Structure 1
């Protein structure tokens, strides 16, 4: 039976909201690309390609807007920190242009360059020139987002190279506040860049993030910049990202700002916003520019989202508020290493992977109550925690560390995060399901989405335990499956450390044991008995909220309370708990006709005692939470196969279920 595995972390993250009614799933029809019209040197008209099927998701959204992070570096030192990935792991200029050309060929007509701070790249003008050469292929707008500090002296050349739109980020007009948040002087340079961009005829937008207790008293003055200048001043709701100390109490809702503006600016009126809608624009009588609001948290615009993002290390993000990332850089570099025969094959692979990622995009991102608990790096935080993987799996979904933002270098070119879109050799083809993707795709890849916290060790050791060996032998020491092994010496029967010589229970003394790094993985399976359960979870239609997000939190809490629940379990300082969900579809077989979910809990610590109880509790509690949130539609859901599947570290040695099965044939 062909099992279709879809890893479900639908933390869709785009600063968007959700229409009241969900559109019917399925791909909208795509018109054939028009034939190339003849062009003369005197009148070169840009080709208007139809968005290809690869950039349309299962909700009919056409993704025509690509945001590219050119660098992780910044010339400011803001409070969130500045992580750095080794240069060898970042996209080169040629790779940026090659990927841009590919996306334009698939229907992208707007590209925005971001960072870090894009203007600190020495070749920024050359990049804009190269992008400008894509206009004949359908590119219409070349945009940039900058802090404006080092932009003034480059603006004229950038405009001449083809830059059409500029977004400047400025959260305060008070020099002291500017220095406080950026730890640099330079507000005068930002304002100089603003005026210079207007003089050059660029379309300029000024972005401000209101934060309660910091700059809420400056919002009127910020809005008045649009009175004298033909710019859009936009107020963006404070968004939850790792490292920015997000707190809902700090967020100033757009509606509150607008209510205040109505009293200060009589006659302020809403303008008709073209789709895809990213902000709400308002005109004020006597203003040369406009005021806008990006209500990412309170009135988001997921339903018309047309954005995809390329990180500086070559990962594709289909949703700003999602932590799933597909590695495109590795496929590009296969060609240069000679692992792909032709450039056409590399391009075909890239298009297939991009298509899979786009079609897996959730309809909406989670709400505030879930988002701020989820680890999620903004585009500036290009940091990856890496683990060792086989050379035969060239693509990865970059996971996200839950706390540290310190960069970790790749130990080798093929080393990646533990979650991946992995290549499998044909004919082991795993297409999308018709119900989930809208139509079947016969691609030689399986799609998986990242756990909230990848394992931070560079390698993992696999091993076997005495207990598992005892399960393979009968009491006489004979292997019931293989007569040739009957002469093998059996391991000694282990004694139960929790029992004294008189049979009394007690806590094992671990005082003299050495501290060591430990990791334990446990799994459990929830088998659905209703045809509605799988779609209910994947489409986030449960009345109780995000099933995956709540179950993950429940598993983490359970792992931390193991010593309180298990009488003889040692209290352990857990350093990491990762709970992952692998959904699978049913095929009418013994596994369940309506599919289910495999819950995997991975617990880590540095200490004297094992983590089996913590991992088992995490997997079990996450599974029970799935049942609790879905019992209204599936009271017959079954829980089973609760077991430890991997153990790393400790005096007992290393072991894995997978390694044991392979050793016994």
Structure 2
């Protein structure tokens, strides 16, 4: 992974050089075992195609074959990169891959079998493909993925030269189970991994994916970096109002991690409610990064790269931008895709597909299969139709194409920050507190990266727990009750109040105790006391407290036709009784409303608040007169 410290050209040159040397030396042996053996000089007669300035001083062999006309389109593009979706299933429910209504999964018998995946992969390799990436859904939920990798890996060290140019096997994964499965994947011949991660905030991850697991993804990133992989990339789809505030945080990852963080422009697919206003073009991202790192420099892109590569001098990793919407790279596109149900897509954004599954199941004639592939490739257009036309065109949801997370859907067009603002506090104070905790958590996360592996992981674990920012959420993002068993038992008292404003006619009847439903004030008082005693049944994470006293008082005020409600809760225990006092006032107020609504619905419940509390670690609290007036 140290090659990431230098330019991308040097990295790619050394990677390919190392692989080619292995192939020229070892046959019918494991690639991983071969890497440990003694180096033997290659044959002099073999062809050399590496520039000495771009790689090591020793020139290494490659096998040059005429490129197959089957995989060349009419614009002269040779398609050497194949993406194969292994499954439509996923262990996340991301809003950017799954439409709200979900997707209908293809019956198992209509999906490509293990043998069919391997057969098609070999067919494409023999005709010039040198790189295959397995996607999904989530490819790691398919149990035979290591079997597929192993079978294709054997081709690279076998006796048939038709396969020796096959250079790279990679996967694109959400990272949830990658850490667990990585050793087996490496043994099977995996070369590179792309991990999808769109946020460094645990809550935001849960919001986007509808699942917990952010800490598993982070663990997978570290484990991938520490492994023998040639390439570790992080794919981050950027969308205005969701995660555009984290762009510089992602760039900071590359300071101490030899990873390639790739920012992907938000793209339209079926079911993701694409909106151009949410699409942040790479020029804006680049400008934002330049403000923090003016020394950011462009580095040379490799042929057919979809990403525009940049690097902050001195950083171990690099960043890139996949600009499908604002600055397409169709002219150098060398990609083909096979869906999990066996359809060949020559363009990610095209709706045109041909079924290779049906072809190979109905015919054993390889020439017939290749003619079907060639016809599809020759129909590939010069470029896609542009983002507006793409948004209006029919295409598969991304979950049914592959899992590289090219799009995001936000419910009701609200940004995540807007939702958080509404949830935490209608005023700015709550939001500022939340943002402050998130910034502090991220800082701890980045600081941990500078430590040795064992210390780093311990610190990251602590950051994960803190990054939730919520006392009632565990380090896996699940709700939990706070353990108060270690706290001292002290006298706990809390007082709360609220106000019910009635129309004049309802107030007059209440004042005369002539409301049809009965004695409102007495009933409301009893309801408030009962609610305080049952608070733990109403508020899920409240503790069951043995109250020693609850008092609820209701007073009438003719000047504004209101009923003021005050409550006091008292206990000797390890946690406060504020919730009991506030619940008493709330339920008493609702009881007044319920009993008076037959007279009028023009009733307002307002100003429910904690007035005073004491006991416990936080000490004495008393709401100031200014706060009371507000």
In the alignment, structure 1 residue 67 sits paired with structure 2 residue 83: yes
The match for 1:102 is 123
The match for 1:370 is 389
Say whether the 8 Å CA contact 1:65–1:108 is kept in structure 2.
Answer: yes
Superposed CA deviations along residues 462-515 of structure 1, whole A, max 9, x for unmatched, are xxxxxxxxxxxxxxxxxxxxxxxxxxxxxxxxxxxxxxxxxxxxxxxxxxxxxx
Distance (Å, rounded) in 1 between the aligned partners of 2:194 and 2:240: 23
In the alignment, structure 1 residue 224 sits paired with structure 2 residue 249: no
Deviation at 1:48, TM superposition (A): 4.3
Q: What are structure 1's unaligned runs of at least 5 residues?
A: 1-36, 335-339, 384-665
5 Å-filtered alignment, 1:212-611, equals 212-334=240-362, 340=363, 343=364, 345=365, 347-381=366-400
Deviation at 1:39, TM superposition (A): 7.4
Superposed CA deviations along residues 499-533 of structure 1, whole A, max 9, x for unmatched, are xxxxxxxxxxxxxxxxxxxxxxxxxxxxxxxxxxx
In the alignment, structure 1 residue 193 sits paired with structure 2 residue 212: no
Superposed CA deviations along residues 554-612 of structure 1, whole A, max 9, x for unmatched, are xxxxxxxxxxxxxxxxxxxxxxxxxxxxxxxxxxxxxxxxxxxxxxxxxxxxxxxxxxx
Superposed CA deviations along residues 397-437 of structure 1, whole A, max 9, x for unmatched, are xxxxxxxxxxxxxxxxxxxxxxxxxxxxxxxxxxxxxxxxx
Say whether the 8 Å CA contact 1:311–1:379 is kept in structure 2.
Answer: no
Superposed CA deviations along residues 227-264 of structure 1, whole A, max 9, x for unmatched, are 11001001000000011111101111100010111110
Say whether the 8 Å CA contact 2:136–2:401 is kept in structure 1.
Answer: no
Q: What are structure 2's unaligned runs of at least 5 residues?
A: 1-22, 28-33, 35-39, 43-60, 158-162, 403-630
The match for 2:192 is 165
Say whether the 8 Å CA contact 2:153–2:189 is kept in structure 1.
Answer: yes
Distance (Å, rounded) in 2 between the aligned partners of 1:67 and 1:273: 21
Deviation at 1:123, TM superposition (A): 1.1
Name the SS of the counterpart of 1:145 in structure 2. strand
> Structure 1 residues 273, 382: closer, same or farther in 2, change over 3 A?
closer
Say whether the 8 Å CA contact 2:271–2:397 is kept in structure 1.
Answer: no
Distance (Å, rounded) in 1 between the aligned partners of 2:398 and 2:287: 31
Distance (Å, rounded) in 2 between the aligned partners of 1:356 and 1:52: 13
Name the SS of the counterpart of 1:131 in structure 2. helix
In the alignment, structure 1 residue 54 sits paired with structure 2 residue 70: yes
Choose between structure 1 and 2 for higher RCO, CA contacts under 8 A separated by at least 6 residues: 1
Superposed CA deviations along residues 159-186 of structure 1, whole A, max 9, x for unmatched, are 1211001000011111111111111110
Superposed CA deviations along residues 152-210 of structure 1, whole A, max 9, x for unmatched, are 11001101211001000011111111111111110100011001011112110101011
Distance (Å, rounded) in 2 between the aligned partners of 1:38 and 1:230: 29
Name the SS of the counterpart of 1:292 in structure 2. strand
Say whether the 8 Å CA contact 2:85–2:401 is kept in structure 1.
Answer: no
Distance (Å, rounded) in 2 between the aligned partners of 1:174 and 1:38: 46
Name the SS of the counterpart of 1:312 in structure 2. coil
Deviation at 1:379, TM superposition (A): 4.7
Say whether the 8 Å CA contact 1:83–1:381 is kept in structure 2.
Answer: no
Say whether the 8 Å CA contact 1:69–1:380 is kept in structure 2.
Answer: no
Say whether the 8 Å CA contact 2:336–2:344 is kept in structure 1.
Answer: yes
Say whether the 8 Å CA contact 1:83–1:382 is kept in structure 2.
Answer: no
Distance (Å, rounded) in 2 between the aligned partners of 1:40 and 1:200: 22
More helix by share: 2
> Structure 1 residues 192, 48: closer, same or farther in 2, change over 3 A?
farther
Superposed CA deviations along residues 349-385 of structure 1, whole A, max 9, x for unmatched, are 11101111101100000111211111111452269xx
The match for 2:52 is none
Deviation at 1:130, TM superposition (A): 1.2
Name the SS of the counterpart of 1:85 in structure 2. coil
Give the count of matched residue pairs: 338
Say whether the 8 Å CA contact 1:320–1:378 is kept in structure 2.
Answer: no
**Counterpart among 81, 95, 115 of residue 136 in structure 2:** 115
The match for 2:201 is 174
Distance (Å, rounded) in 2 between the aligned partners of 1:83 and 1:191: 30
The match for 1:534 is none
Distance (Å, rounded) in 2 between the aligned partners of 1:39 and 1:46: 12
Deviation at 1:266, TM superposition (A): 2.3
5 Å-filtered alignment, 1:130-141, equals 130-136=151-157, 137=163, 138-141=165-168
> Structure 1 residues 302, 190: closer, same or farther in 2, change over 3 A?
same
Distance (Å, rounded) in 2 between the aligned partners of 1:358 and 1:265: 42
The match for 2:114 is 93
Deviation at 1:82, TM superposition (A): 4.5
Distance (Å, rounded) in 2 between the aligned partners of 1:173 and 1:296: 24
Task: Output the TM-score relative to the length of structure 2.
Answer: 0.52
The match for 2:451 is none
Task: Output the TM-score relative to the length of structure 1.
Answer: 0.49
In the alignment, structure 1 residue 129 sits paired with structure 2 residue 150: yes
Distance (Å, rounded) in 1 between the aligned partners of 2:401 and 2:266: 20
